[in-house]
Amino acid sequence: MTSDHDMLWRRCAYLGRVLLPLLDQELWRQDRRQERLQSWGIDTAVGERIIEVFAALAAHAVAVDASLSAAESETLPLSAVADAATGKRDFELLAGLPDTFADDLDEIAVKIFRLYAYKGGQTSLQLLRLSTEVRHTLTVLAAREPVPSPTCADIFRQADEANLPQEAHPLRTVAADKTA
């Protein structure tokens, strides 16, 4: 049986997985992001996978701080997740994670994030840059919503309307292959 804490992580991971496909409904946004990643010396597939896990970690940190259940996590304002992505220190994002992950790719991505966070130097700069990408993505998606303070539920609704899969996104497989 899956614990609520594990379900919370799964919902946060799903949020991270759907952000870029939703943003990329405007194709020029994907091109610009990929150009930025390349100019920063970050492999596109790896950078996009880290953006996914960064968003998941930020959402998870906010939910844990607020003592929200998995079901209540949908009420998280996107602005709070965006603030956590750029406002919380890397180690704060890693606090309170599940001991094990149902999805091996999530576990690998979190371990890579952890390595980046503790390595310092150039990788710290890359994480800082990727955090701004997460914030930018959340801000753009929030601006598309007609409600004044969009929540994670609004993103989940957009993902359902776009028929995005609940499971692995193709990007995850590519990134996992490059980081393995």
Phi and psi torsions of 151, nearest 5°:
-120, 175
21 contacts: CB under 8 Å, gap ≥ 6: 159, 162, 164, 169
32, 33, 35, 37 alpha-carbon torsion, rounded to 10° = 170
Do 54 and 129 meet the contact criterion of CB atoms below 8 Å apart? Answer: no
Question: What's the pLDDT score for residue 103?
Answer: 81
Which amino acid, 174?
V
Give me 89's structure tokens: 């220190």
Residues 150-173 have a mean pLDDT of 78
- The per-residue pLDDT for range 74-124, each reduced to its tens digit, is 999 999 999 999 999 988 898 888 777 778 888 888 888 888 888 878 888
- Please tell me the predicted confidence (pLDDT) of residue 175: 40
pLDDT band, very low/low/confident/very high, at 167 (cuts 50, 70, 90): low
CA distance 58 to 90: 9
- The answer to whether residue 139 scores a pLDDT higher than 60 is yes
> In whole angstroms, what is the distance from residue 156 CA to residue 178 CA?
28
CA gap 161, 163 in Å, rounded: 5
Look over the chain and give the mean of its residue pLDDT values, rounded to a whole number.
87
Phi, psi of 175 (to 5 degrees): -65, -40
- From the number of C-beta atoms within 10 Å of its C-beta (0-12, 13-18, 19+), residue 45 rates as buried
SS3 assignment for 38-79: HHCCCCHHHHHHHHHHHHHHHHHHHHHHCCCCCCHHHHCEHH
**Cβ atoms of 16 and 53 closer than 8 Å:** yes
Burial-class residue 170 by CB neighbours within 10 Å (0-12, 13-18, 19+): exposed
Q: What is the average per-residue pLDDT within 12-37?
A: 95
What is the percentage of the chain residues whose pLDDT exceeds 70? 91
Least confident of 38-52, 91-105, 153-167: 91-105
pLDDT at 170 over 80: no
**Percent of the chain residues past pLDDT 90, beyond the cut:** 64
